[in-house]
Amino acid sequence: MLKELPSLKRRAPLRIEILSSAENTSLLHNDLNDILLDASGCCEYVGYVDKDGNTRLKIELTVTEEERKQYIWDYLRSKHAADCYISVEPTELLMEPFLTP
pLDDT of 68 reads 79
Residue 43: name the closest of 69, 61, 23, 58 by CA. Answer: 61
The count of structural domains within the chain is 1
The verdict on residue 59 lying in a domain is yes
CA distance 101 to 95: 18
The verdict on residue 26 lying in a domain is yes
CA distance 73 to 33: 14
Q: Per-residue pLDDT tens, the chain, 101 aa: give them.
A: 555 444 445 567 788 889 998 888 888 888 888 887 655 567 788 888 888 888 888 888 888 877 778 888 888 889 888 889 998 887 654 444 443 44
Domain limits at 19? 14-90
Contact predicate 15/88, CB 8 Å: yes
The verdict on residue 100 lying in a domain is no
The verdict on residue 9 lying in a domain is no
CATH of the domain at 50: 3.30.70.120
CA distance 83 to 81: 6
The verdict on residue 28 lying in a domain is yes
